Amino acid sequence: MPRRLDNWINGAASAPSTAAYTTGLNPTNGSPTVDIGVSGAADVDHAVACARRSADAWRHFPSAERGRILAAIARSIRDNADRLADREIEDTGKPRATALGEVENSAAYFEFYAGLVNLPVGELLDVEPNQHIFTKREPYGVIGVITPWNLPLNQAARAVAPALVTGNTVVLKPAETSGQTTIALARIATEAGLPDGVFNVVLGAGSTVGSAIVAHPDVRKVAFTGSVRTGRAIGKVAADRVIPLTLELGGKSANIVFEDAELDLAAKEAVRAFASNAGQVCSAGTRLLVQRSVHDEFVAEVVRIAAALREGEDLGPMITRAQFEQVQEYFEVAAKEGARPALGGSVTRRPELAGGFYVQPTIYAGVSNDMRIAREEIFGPVLVTMPFDDEREAVSIANDSDFGLVAGVFTSDIGRALRVSDAIEAGQVFVNSWSTGAVQTPFGGHKNSGYGREKGIEAMYHYTHLKSVVVVY
């Protein structure tokens, strides 16, 4: 009898009111995993009612106590690291080291925000005698969080920790296929002392549960991570409801390598940039721009390193069947556009992986930036490379994109690194390293990559709004 995954509402497991379940698939071999609840709008109503009921008490908890509970959640995540990694691997197929890294990062979010519980602070304003004017930041109330399937635990922790520490309550919907670690996180939070109703998880489809969360009159802010298409749809509802929204959408991030860079390091980082989590990362570096004088030789080295990635060991599968199909469609698009792979370009050829959703690490060298494979987010381990002649052209190609999430710059000239970082239209720029990990670093996009910021102290501003109090005496 397969295990059942139920909602977590008001501090306890809660079967969906629909009594409906769908079977999860293990992406490494297509076998059934766990029966996942398919909830309806009534479950959202129930979860939001619990979140609303608990909001006032949670907001007025002694702040040190809120911080202590978040710190206890961080400790418990670490204590349960192996079990959480097992569940994440079952849902996503990712390599164990990647899953454990995600678990550690999730603990780090709770730890970081636990220590910041008394930030952000307000201001005292000097205006007139006999006036005492101050500002304070207040929670919104109930926050709706909607997450995708690529880094489920990490994306849940990234939003939930700053939302809770600032005194909000949460109703979260994970992606249809990958809710196990989010439910485990909610259970851990309850066991660590989080009051019932403060963090609720409702499983189910985006079109029903997701849209019910966004439309619910008691949800006062939404934090969404996922596709541009869904982000737009949610944005329209949020605009009608006049509620704030954080959108973390896709990317087609440029990684720029100049001829004066430390090329061995840059080549290793270029592979990490596009192949981590099998390319299923919104901040993946999937457009590699290389100065023409070293382009061919550098790309040959990148191909050599990427070719050594072992499918099924270093490189996990595509996490959903739909994503597996999407990447294959892009292989066909590439062929039609006349791009020939310098590496890969098909599903895995390893017979023992044939039942899973595996694709080869793939590199299309010397493409043009107007091809679809250079403009659209593929969300798999697929890299395109382009030569450029000088700094101006590099920046111009990098910015010639609908997206603007992150960028990399590899050069030994610090002046150039700073000039290019300044000119790039992206929310984060990495110089001489492809490093997106730190929970302290604000994260978010320009253009179609979204707006608002997660992570860092900055996220705490996005989960609170400002009140000015004017006292005349």
* Residues carrying an active site annotation: 248, 282
Q: Determine the Cα–Cα distance for residues 333 and 322; give it in Å rounded to an integer.
A: 16
The candidate with the shortest Cα–Cα distance to 140, out of 166, 174, 110, 113, is 166
Closer residue to ligand NAD (CB): 371 or 417: 371
Distances (CA, A) of 185 to 57, 69, 195, 253, 426: 21, 13, 14, 31, 31
Asked whether the beta carbons of 416 and 391 are under 8 A apart, the reply is yes
* Distance in Å, CB of 94 to ligand NAD, minimum: 13
Tell me whether residue 194 or residue 214 sits nearer to ligand NAD (CB atom). 214
For residues 167 and 316, which CB has a smaller minimum distance to ligand NAD in the complex? 316
The DSSP secondary structure of 183-227, one letter per residue, reads HHHHHHHHHTTPPTTSEEE--S-IIIIIHHHHH-TTEEEEEEES-
Least distance in Å: CB of 237 to ligand NAD? 8
Residue 224 near residue 213 (C-beta atoms within 8 A): no
The maximal CA–CA distance of the chain, rounded, in angstroms, is: 80
End-to-end CA separation in angstroms for the chain:
70
**What is the nearest approach in angstroms of ligand NAD to the Cβ of residue 117?**
27
- Other beta carbons less than 10 A from residue 344's beta carbon: 24
- Least Å from the CB of residue 238 to ligand NAD: 11
Strand pairing category for 341-343 and 446-447? unpaired
Identity of the residue, 251 or 356, whose beta carbon is nearer to ligand NAD in the bound complex: 251
Six token digits for residue 314: 């270093």
Decide: 14 and 49 in contact? Cβ < 8 Å. no
Positive or negative: CA dihedral 372, 375, 376, 378:
positive
Name which of 116 and 406 has its Cβ closer to ligand NAD.
406
Q: Which residues bind ligand NAD (CB under 6 A)?
A: 146-150, 173, 175-176, 206-207, 210-211, 214, 225-227, 230, 233-234, 248-250, 282, 323, 326, 377, 379
Is the torsion defined by CA of 424, 427, 429, 435 positive or negative?
negative
Q: Kindly tell me which of 192 and 405 has the beta carbon lying closer to ligand NAD.
A: 405
**Nearest-approach distance from CB 230 to ligand NAD, in angstroms:** 3
To the nearest whole angstrom, how small is the minimum distance from the Cβ of residue 467 to ligand NAD? 29
